[in-house]
Structure 1
Amino acid sequence: MKKKIDENQIYEKHYEQIYNQVKNDPYARSLGIQFTKFEAGFAEAMLEVQSHLVNAYGKTSLGLSTTIQFIESAKPGDKMVARATEIKRNYRTGFYRSEVLHEQKLIATMEAVSYRKDHYFIELEEHILKRVKI
């Protein structure tokens, strides 16, 4: 019978090494994420939202839900292709399905539901807005 590993003991013994590895994660650092608490079984991080982190048109858009399945891992240097399909769009709600591929091999899938506020992706002239109810 295998001996049960006590995760808390490992954490306490190797706290500095674990914390430094998490704190120096290249992706988190590239986003500007700073860890404010790091304890056994709990972590807290802070991110200042910058202009390059918001959506393409700077307007309010809400992601109501997303479900992502990571099927395969990607490696540095892999060229990924993402494809998104609008399944259905209502007055304010959009339903989308996406897939990420590497050399035609499925890497990840995502289903998402979004909510649109009272504006379009681009600025429309007033006379167009009067004809079309958003």
Structure 2
Amino acid sequence: MERVTADPYAKFLGIQIERVEEGEAAVSIPVKEHLLNFHGAANGGLIFSLADVAFAIASNSYGQTSVGINVSINYMKAAMLGDFLTATAQEVSRNSKLALYRLTVRNQNNEIIAVADGMVYRKKEQFA
């Protein structure tokens, strides 16, 4: 937990860690004005980053270094100023070298904002 809570990029964006279990994670962020794009909606990069932080936490939750090798995201609905977004990462499959995660971003009304699949390469390195 100490390692993931120290993530400088997540801290910079204001992402909060809500839940961490082996192979799972949930993180959240309120959509503020500085996170909007020129259409007045939450920037797609913010939504991707939120999902990516959940992905990184879940995939590293076993204490084995895991690095993302692919993420495919689908944006389903715009998030707007004042929305509260939560991203969850759920392990779908894991073996000694690869693991696949389903990422879902929802707003405060439980509406799906984005869904993604992310794959990691699981290195041999362990960390405490």
* TM superposition score normalised by structure 2: 0.47
Greater RCO structure (CA 8 Å; 6+ sep): 2
Larger gyration radius, structure 1 or structure 2: 1
Superposition TM-score, scaled by structure 1 size: 0.45
